Chain A
Amino acid sequence: MNNLGNDVGPADASEMDCVDFLRRVDELLDVDDDMWDTRVRRHLMDCPPCRVFLEQLQDLRELLRAASTQDLVPPDDPRIAAIMSLSSSKEIGPK
């Protein structure tokens, strides 16, 4: 069992439709796919559009994450130097 629902076996798993899948898709992105329950796996196997939808969200997240590597600030940036300088002054530094 996991936080995405009961890990039901193939015999008793009720069918998931696309609406159910789309309601849960954000949760699925938060965990590794080995945590997905049987209903989710089966739906993805049977429904290429939902698989594409999930892949699009995974791609979107990859594109968003790339943003964090594009704005790097070097340690010798003047803004960092200003903080270093201010924080080492007597008024601001540790007591």
Chain B
Amino acid sequence: MRAVTAYRSSPPAHVCAGGGDATWTAEQIAELYPGMVRFARTMLPASVVEDVVQETWIAVLKGIERFEGRSTLRTWIYAVLRNKACRALGIETRRRDREEAELSDEVDPLAGRLHPAGHPDAGHWSVPPSTRFIPEERAAVSELREKVREALDRLPERQRQVVLLRDVEGFSADEVCELLDIDPGNQRILLHRGRGKLRAYLECYHFGRGCPENDSESWL
């Protein structure tokens, strides 16, 4: 496969700070591309996602000398993508006030599942989870996988971004804080709530357990 001479001669994961001569192969770009599309989808309308990812790559290949090595190269590329997406939307990257307001206005899917204070079994389950999602024989896994993907797309934006970056793309908590410009406490809350909703959604879908009281509602 033809290689693009870009900046340093090592693979993307090992590109050093400060530029130089590098070669990016199509394989290396293709490896990062799908994750970037998934991340871009959390910020942008589907109609512009591919364009913004393409623009990001052009900017990355053009401006790799600006990579200072303070984060991993993948985190830096995702940060370029985030900035491109924000610019495409014409929004500011800092949205803490609005996010904090959103965080305080959430329904906990575990509400009512544990005995309340004052109960003889306070602090323990009243409606415990029944069994794990992935059965030994793993027959229903592909259906569950599809359900999880759909559910992820329906989470509130910031929860979706944190769960995507942590659990799908494998970024560390610190990297997610840097990419989304959030503090560690917010990252923990967003991850906890996002995972919690997805778990509750799957539990309701798969076992009919722990569903919202109103049939027309969903945990997402």
Contact = CB atoms under 8 A, between A and B. Distances in A.
Contacts of B133: 55-56, 59-60, 63
Interface in B175-192: 188, 191-192
Interface of B: 1-2, 4-7, 19, 21-22, 24-27, 29-30, 33-35, 37-38, 50, 53-54, 57-58, 61-62, 110, 114, 122-125, 128-134, 141, 144-145, 148-149, 152, 163, 167-170, 173, 188, 191-192, 195, 198-199, 202-203
A80 B26 contact: yes
A13 interface: no
B195 A52 contact: no
A79 B50 contact: yes
A6 interface: no
Contact of B57 (A48, A66, A83, A94): A83
Given A17-B123, A22-B110, A66-B145, 8 more contacts: A18-B123, A26-B188, A52-B131, A62-B134, A64-B163, A67-B152, A87-B4, A94-B7
Contacts of A22: 110, 114
A48 B124 CA distance: 11
A39 to B, nearest CB: 14
Given A19-B114, A57-B195, A67-B38, A84 B26 contact: yes
Contacts of A61: 167, 195
Enumerate the 9 nearest inter-chain pairs by beta-carbon distance, A residue then B residue, closest first: A49-B128, A17-B123, A75-B26, A59-B133, A71-B34, A55-B132, A87-B61, A64-B167, A59-B134
Contacts of B22: 94
Contact of A56 (B6, B34, B129, B152): B129
Interface residues of A, number: 47
A17 B54 contact: no
Interface of A: 17-20, 22, 26, 30, 47-50, 52-53, 55-68, 70-77, 79-84, 86-88, 92-94
A64 B26 contact: no
Given A49-B125, A75-B30, A83-B29, A57 B199 contact: yes
Contacts of A93: 4-6, 61
A3 to B, nearest CB: 11
B134 A63 contact: yes
B132 A52 contact: yes
Nearest to B202: A60
A92 B202 CA distance: 46
Contacts of B195: 26, 57, 60-61
13 contacts: A18-B123, A49-B129, A52-B131, A57-B195, A60-B198, A60-B199, A61-B195, A66-B145, A67-B148, A67-B152, A68-B38, A80-B33, A94-B19
